[in-house]
Structure 1
Amino acid sequence: MTEHPLEVFHFCPKCGSPDFEIHNALSRHCANCGFTFYQNPRASTAAFILNEKGELLVARRGKEPAKGTLDLPGGFVDNDENAEQGMVREIKEETGLDINPNAIEYLFSIPNVYHYSGMDIRTLDFFFLCHTTNDAVVKANDDAAELQWLPLREVYVERFGLRSIRQAVHRFLEKNC
């Protein structure tokens, strides 16, 4: 059963009081100490990485959710990072590629629900375009079980496991094919 994060937390994380009530759709409020906890979306990134031949770098997910399906390199933005820094870090962690943060192009964002640890985590996924050379060496690491370069005509939306990634790939292909 999937639960909204606010349904899981029954005690105030600041003072431990059980008087931690639903305040609105995005928050709980503690009647004891006055603390309000907001459940805002987490920032996440994904990259369309193209080589000089116009091939797209795709990853096969090594972990749940959607283990074994295709994905784009990316992941959650850490505290004290902007979306571009998070994107560059995630690309390095998952592929080994060093991408110049000044050479990435923001494309669009899509709200998403990421099912993890029995909860639906609301995310705001930022999509970027990056370019690399044909001789760039990639190596699957972190969450990526494997990486492959695909010509855009061989990229099929239904092979991607996460909803926002499928939406983004569809949008990207409509514009670039």
Structure 2
Amino acid sequence: MHPLTQFKFCPKCGSDRFVENNFKSKKCEDCGFVYYFNSCSSTIAIIINDNKELLVATRAHEPVKGTLDLPGGFVDMEETGEEAVAREVLEETGLKVENVKYLFSIPNKYIYSGFEVQTLDLVYLCKVSDTHMLKAEDDVAGLEFIKISELKPELFGLMSVKEVIKEIQKMNI
């Protein structure tokens, strides 16, 4: 189901004459307001220790509760991707990001409360100097470092993260 089908009323005037305009937008036949359904920005953190191990999280909540994941999350309003990934890493792991390097982006579909959110996941290589404060927090049930060569993409619950794992295994980071 296309996410726009769940929008029944115009967010500007409340009219129920809020109809499909094209694949990515709806238009109000009463006030003329056009709503474009664009991707939300999200971040994924790649944190690698000196042993070439990647920091991997276990999801504490749906969607895909109990599967493997990477630290990260949605970009807040008025926040850069770099600020968001550092904030999310701190919230989820207790680690302070010292340096951030953008790697690539990948589209994803994230089901939240039964609603499909289209995201553009921004992947960052994050440098942390001290992992002694590592602690699963926020929406993370567990954290562990796993050798990159031993990662199994099929154990990760989100489609975009599975693809990120495959890419990381091809890169020589």
TM-score by length of 2: 0.95
The runs of 5 or more residues in structure 2 that have no matched partner are: none
Aligned residues: 173
> Is residue 93–residue 142 contact of structure 1 (8 Å, CA) maintained in 2?
yes
Equivalent in the alignment of 1:163: 159
CA RMSD, 1 decimal = 1.4
Map of 1:46-57 to 2, 5 A cutoff? 46-57=44-55
Code of the residue aligned with 2:45 in structure 1: it is A
Identity %: 48
Taking structure 1 as reference, are residues 96 and 135 closer, same or farther at Cα in structure 2, changes over 3 Å only? closer
Alpha-carbon displacement from aligned partner over 1:36-95 (angstroms, at most 9, x marks no partner): 111100000001101222221100000111110100000000000011111111001100
TM-score (norm. length: structure 1): 0.93
Structure 1 residue aligned with 2:93, among 92, 95, 98?
95
Q: In structure 1, give the amino acid aligned to 2:159.
A: R
Q: Which residue of 2 aligns with 1:153?
A: 149
Matching residue within 102, 107, 114 for 1:111: 107
Q: 1:175 corresponds to which residue?
A: 171
Give the corresponding residue for 1:32: 30
CA distance in 2, matches of 1:11, 1:89: 34
Q: Is the 8 A contact 1:53 1:134 kept in 2?
A: no
Alignment of 1:7-156 (within 5 A): 7-100=5-98, 103-133=99-129, 135-156=131-152
CA distance in structure 1 between the aligned counterparts of 2:111 and 2:161, rounded to whole angstroms: 14
Structure 1 unaligned spans of 5+:
none
